[in-house]
Amino acid sequence: MKELAVLALVILGTVPSAAEEALVWSLVQGDRDTNWKRARKHCEKFATDARTDWRLPRERELFELAQRAADGDSDARAAIETLGDAAAWSGDVSSSGLAWAASFTHGYLFRLHVANWRGLRALCVAGPAVVDSAEVETGPWLRPLAAETDSALTWPCTGELRNPVIQAGTLAPFRRAIPPGPLVAVVSVDFVIDAEGWVRFVGPTPETPSRYGALAVDTLMTFRFASATCDGAPIPVFHRLDFGGPPDEESPE
């Protein structure tokens, strides 16, 4: 990536008190496809003479950034625009290696394994971190950025919910690449199916062996779905697909 001049902006909300400092968001981003560890290192190395406290934002800070942009804050929008259509990692990580990420383009927060990298990048922030006791492990997997609405594995829906349906895609490439014999562990991937039916932000589940995870992700990226709907309107959903497991378990065709 070409070296760019360091730009930063102050996201204005309420006027900060002496004990409260406004956050500063970077306008220079790292690579387009970055796993969590690389994203964290990118922010830690972003030190300048003026600031040395750059870090990945907390999940709540990403939420608040989205709220300010929705309220018309031009500086907040400028920070978000640097991401393109990528999602931004948060610094919140669970004991099993799950982290929150925010897709400002699609309007939702979701969590996935830190080893994932497709469509994710660093959005660095400087300033004191907000106090947030929310545990990544127990929160909803997918929820709107626009409101504090809890959900399970699906977008909040109070009407008739219809699940997504596979229109195209096959596990054949995955199976052809796996050595003969039963898999000794379940190979699973977590991902978002957006409102248009495209697969987004694919990542292997924490229990998936690393030697199978990348292959499973590449295979799933060839899939296309008819999107889930709520009262007939397309909605995004968080989904998990099992590619296989012990001999007594079935796997999708």
Residue 238 belongs to a domain with what CATH number?
3.30.2420
Number of domains in the chain: 2
| pLDDT number for residue 56 | 95
**212 near 187, Cβ under 8 Å?**
yes
According to DSSP, the residues that pair with 200 across neighbouring strands are 192
Instruction: Identify the domain boundary among 110, 144, 178.
Output: 144
24 and 93 assigned to the same domain: yes
Query: What does the pLDDT look like over 68-115, one tens digit per residue?
Result: 998 999 989 999 999 999 999 999 888 888 899 999 999 999 988 888
- Looking at the domain assignment, is residue 150 inside a domain? no
- Residue 14 domain-assigned (yes or no): yes
pTM of the complete model: 0.80
Measured distance CA(108)–CA(104) in Å, rounded: 7
Give yes or no: residues 193 and 100 share one domain.
Answer: no
Count of residues making up the chain? 253
Residues 42 and 124 in one domain: yes
The CATH code of the domain that includes 28 is: 3.10.100
Give CA torsion, residues 146, 61, 111, 135, to 10 deg: -110
Same domain as 137, residue 15: yes
What would the pLDDT profile of 125-160 be if each residue is shown by its tens digit? 999 887 665 566 666 788 888 765 555 557 888 899
Q: Is residue 155 part of a domain?
A: no
**Burial zone of 111 (CB within 10 Å; 0-12 exposed, 13-18 middle, 19+ buried):** buried
Could you say which of 83, 115, 144 is where a domain stops? 144
Same domain, 140 and 174: no
Same domain, 190 and 165: yes
Q: Do 233 and 201 fall into the same domain?
A: yes
Q: Are 31 and 120 members of one domain?
A: yes
What was the pLDDT predicted at 135? 65
H or E, element range at 190:
strand 187-193
CA dist., res. 133 & res. 131, Å (int): 7
At which of 112, 144, 176 does a domain end?
Answer: 144
Residue 1 lies inside a defined structural domain of this protein: no
Residue 170, domain member (yes or no): yes
Instruction: Please tell me the distance from the alpha carbon of residue 191 to that of residue 55, in angstroms, as a whole number.
Output: 25
Give domain status of residue 154, yes or no.
no
Strand partners, 55: 125
Domain limits at 99?
8-144
Contact 235, 154 (CB under 8 A): yes
Cα separation values, 222 from 69, 195, 199, Å: 33, 17, 8
